[in-house]
Structure 1
Amino acid sequence: MRICLVLASWGEGGLERHAIELANALSLTHQVSVIVHPVMIDRFAKAIQVFPVNMDRNRQNPFLLYDIWSILKNNPFDIVHAQASKATILLARIRPFLPKTIGFVASMHNQKSALWAFARMDHLILGGNDGLLGGRTLSIPVSCIYNGIVPSGTQGWTRDRLVQEFGFNSESLVYCAVGRFVPAKGFDILIPAIAASGVQCLLIGDGPERAELEALVQKTGAKVVFSGYRKDGMSLLSVSDGMLISSRNEGFAYVFVEGMLAHRPIIATDIPMVQDFLPREVIVPVDDVAALTEKLNFIQNEPQEWDRLMQPVWAKADAELTLENMVLRVENVYNAIVKSRFEQGQH
């Protein structure tokens, strides 16, 4: 199958990682191309044909639209797969001017207020449950396919090394929280709860709220250490005693999957993907310092019960959140579209 993935973002985020891992895995058995920002060129397998396009331009830019149209017009793709909103909007605008033989797929990773562009595709893949649609429906087929990953592993890290390097008390549990320092991640809720419960936590990440969060740690006396952005952040998480998620809203959370596949106990706020995996006993309401504090006290006092509650979670993650499972399900979507296109061509 001739497949082209379109990614309009760039950097080190979960969306970029997903697109890279999906493209690389598909390239083992298909002819795969990608249309990406030039800074992403070297991040794909050698078997993949990379079309660099300046994605800095906005989604209405006629030159950006022309560049993508030209690539798709002059290459015989069976499937074009847009990753997230901007790429989907670009494809929706140029689709009327492209060959009717192409099948179009879009992936949605976070809730969106406008769905018009996604509705112009042949199939929508939700990187989570149908809660991403917010109760709305589309006239095209929709599949829920969680993003499978290749776990980062420990990369030489151990708990003893983590404790020593970041100055924690080895006799107490050490938790990790990972994410960009923005309001959506709810770290301003997590820090007061950490202070009230007396637990210790490594906060991995960076972002525009860092100064405010550091000030909050000083004010509350929370036992929090800031690591800054770390490429090995998932490995640090994998040797901690547990993961804390305080998000106000979230689409597909790579850190959540990493935590489950590393068999880390987890406490998380009540966000869509969490609801599909964690038992209610380890889920807390969003924006509720008191509830989060109570749950942190519980896991401090009952670590064996926390571990027991997580056993079926880890088993489910091991079965469903592998890269191989994700690729197989995505291929099934592609095959259904190609089959439909072929049958339509026979009439």
Structure 2
Amino acid sequence: MVTVAPCLRRRLAPRHRVALWRVAFLINELKLGGTETQVCLLARELRARGTDVHVLVLRGGGAHVAALRLAGIQVHEIGFATSGSWPAVLAGALKSGATLVRLLRRLKPQVLHAFLYRSYVLGPPAARLAGVPIVVAGRRSQSFFKQGRRWVFALERAATQMTDHVIANAVAVAEDARTLERVPAHKLSVIYNGLPASAYERIAAAQIDTCLPVIVCVANLLPVKGHHFLLQAAAMLSQRGRACTLVFVGEGPEREKVEREASDLKVDVRFTGPVTDTRGLLARADVVVLPSLHEGLSNAIMEGMAAGRPIVGTAVGGTPELLDGRGLLVPPADSKALADAVCRLLDDPEFAASLAGTARAWARKNLDATVFADEHVKLYQRLLEARCVG
């Protein structure tokens, strides 16, 4: 599951072993989202192993802050500003960079692991100035948001030069980093996202007042998540006499537009807003659908797999790695294909149940939080040992 450079695989003499005692994670913010959830899961797992974990947040606040602090993990807010004129943003970035350098010098982590674009561009130079031994960067999605923006790639490549290793959360994401970002293959590893044991617990289904089949879509209301195409698919299903109730779990700037389109199409949609624990809603789902136009490795699909629900996903990013033979894959931006796939699952409950069971078993084996954390620790350890030998 994890590809590590051959030079880091060699066995080292005991005298070269280095204890992993402090790690700092750097992330843009701690709002409800897939990457943020994975950072918190990894932080808790490393903390349980006795590692001193600090989470550094470029922008303050977020839904996960309280839970991290309750778990004994310190959260440090940098105060990075992202609005205003270009001179103001640049001045803010320089100020935040200086704050980050001072904080890293005080904390003295052995590893800085930065997760999203702003973090892994700002983090490496700050870490080098602060004398942090190992710098790791995450890649959580493909490069669709960077297309046509040369300066974005230029900053990224400069930061990667100062980075020891890049961890992608899917093979498709790693291949994107290798081909488009030109990250050397020896500098890349793949570690799939993890799921806590609680994701597999059987819990009571949420109460949803409808007599129609329920389709649950867990995704923030953003253009890239493709809600428009699911609404169109639901309208097609209604025309076929297969009307459904859609449950949109999440929040975002597209909400008003999505609500308006749902009303125009006369599709029954329930908006839950942000939800921290989706298990009850997933348990209520007849089908889980993620109509994204782009993805990394979707937490929503992973959680649907763990819940044992039949899933339809678009063949983008790491979704085929999750659903190959374990769910139905359709092309992105194809409402008819979405409607056909949902209809197939609703019309053939035995087939749907078979896919769901296979998906749940595969997730248990391949998306375990313990394995997820162990693979990170092994990689951090290899990099530290290689640095000591060097």
Name the structure 2 match of 1:56: 81
The offset of 1:239, in angstroms, is 3.0
**Contact 1:151 1:261 survives alignment (8 Å):** no
- Structure 1 match to 2:31: 11
Instruction: Give the direction of change, closer, same or farther, for the CA distance of 1:18–1:289 in structure 2 (3 Å limit).
Output: same
Residue 39 of structure 1: aligned partner? 61
Where in structure 1 do 4 or more consecutive aligned residues deviate above 4 Å?
57-60, 151-157
Report the residue type matching 1:120 in the other structure. M
Which amino acid is the alignment partner of residue 68 of structure 1?
L
Structure 1, 241-250 or 28-37: larger mean CA deviation: 28-37
Instruction: Report the counterpart of residue 125 of structure 1 in structure 2.
Output: 167
- Residue 107 (structure 2) pairs with residue 86 (structure 1): no
Q: 1:181 deviation in Å? A: 1.4
Q: Decide whether aligned partners of structure 1 residues 157 and 228 sit closer, same or farther in structure 2, where only a CA change above 3 A counts.
A: farther
Q: Residue 68 of structure 2 aligns to which amino acid in structure 1?
A: F
1:256 Cα offset (Å): 1.0
- RMSD in angstroms over aligned alpha carbons? 2.4
Match of 1:189 among 229, 232, 238: 229
Question: Partner of 2:137 in structure 1?
Answer: 106
1:58-107 Cα shifts (integer Å, max 9, x gaps): 576211001111122233321111121111111233344232x6111111
Q: Do structure 1's residue 266 and structure 2's residue 311 form an aligned pair?
A: yes
Equivalent residue for 2:5?
Answer: none
Bigger Cα displacement from structure 2, 325-334 vs 69-78: 69-78
Structure 2 vs 1, CA of residues 144 and 68 (structure 1 numbering), >3 Å: closer, same or farther? same
* Count of paired positions: 337
Shift in CA distance, 32/204, structure 1 to aligned 2, threshold 3 Å: closer
How much has 1:214 moved relative to structure 2?
Answer: 1.9
Q: Residue 189 of structure 1: CA displacement?
A: 0.5
Partner SS for 2:280: helix
Residue 243 of structure 1 aligns to a residue whose secondary structure is strand
**CA distance in structure 1 between the aligned counterparts of 2:263 and 2:247, rounded to whole angstroms:** 15
Q: Residues 85, 265 of structure 1: CA spacing in aligned structure 2 closer, same or farther, 3 A cutoff?
A: same
Query: Residues 116-195 of structure 1 correspond to what in structure 2 (within 5 A)?
Result: 116=157, 117-134=159-176, 135-136=179-180, 137-139=182-184, 140-150=186-196, 158-159=204-205, 161-162=206-207, 166-169=208-211, 172-195=212-235
Q: CA separation in 1, counterparts of 2:199 and 2:387?
A: 41
Which structure 2 segments of 5+ residues have no match?
1-19, 83-88, 147-152, 238-242
Paired amino acid for 1:321: L
1:269-318 Cα shifts (integer Å, max 9, x gaps): 11122110213671111111111121122112112112223333222111
Structure 2 Cα separation of the partners of residues 82 and 43 of structure 1 = 20
**Gapped runs of 5+ residues in structure 1?**
none
* Cα distance change of structure 1 residues 69 and 286 upon mapping to structure 2, 3 Å threshold: same
Mapping of 1:249-288 within 5 angstroms?
Answer: 249-279=294-324, 282-288=328-334
In the TM superposition, residue 3 of structure 1 has moved relative to its aligned partner by 1.2
Q: Is the 8 A contact 1:154 1:235 kept in 2?
A: no
Q: Deviation per CA, 1:223-277: give whole Å up to 9, x if none.
A: 3222333334343123322201111111232111111111111011111221102
Question: 1:151, 1:262 within 8 Å by CA — same for their partners in 2?
Answer: no
CA distance in 1, matches of 2:386, 2:218: 42
The aligned residue for residue 233 of structure 1 is 278
Contact 2:202–2:307 under 8 Å retained in 1: no
Change (3 A) 1:119 1:265: farther
- Which residue is 2:11 aligned to? none
8 A contact 2:286–2:346 mirrored in 1 = no
Counterpart residue identity of residue 35, structure 1 = L
The one-letter code matched in structure 2 to 1:254 is: N
Scaled by the length of structure 1, the TM-score of the pair is: 0.88
Percent of pairs with identical residues = 22
Change (3 A) 1:266 1:124: same
CA contact under 8 A between 2:297 and 2:319: conserved in structure 1? Answer: no
Paired residue secondary structure (2:262): helix
Task: Indicate if the aligned counterparts of 2:112 and 2:127 stay in contact, CA closer than 8 A.
Answer: no
1:225–1:51 distance in 2 versus 1, CA, 3 Å: closer
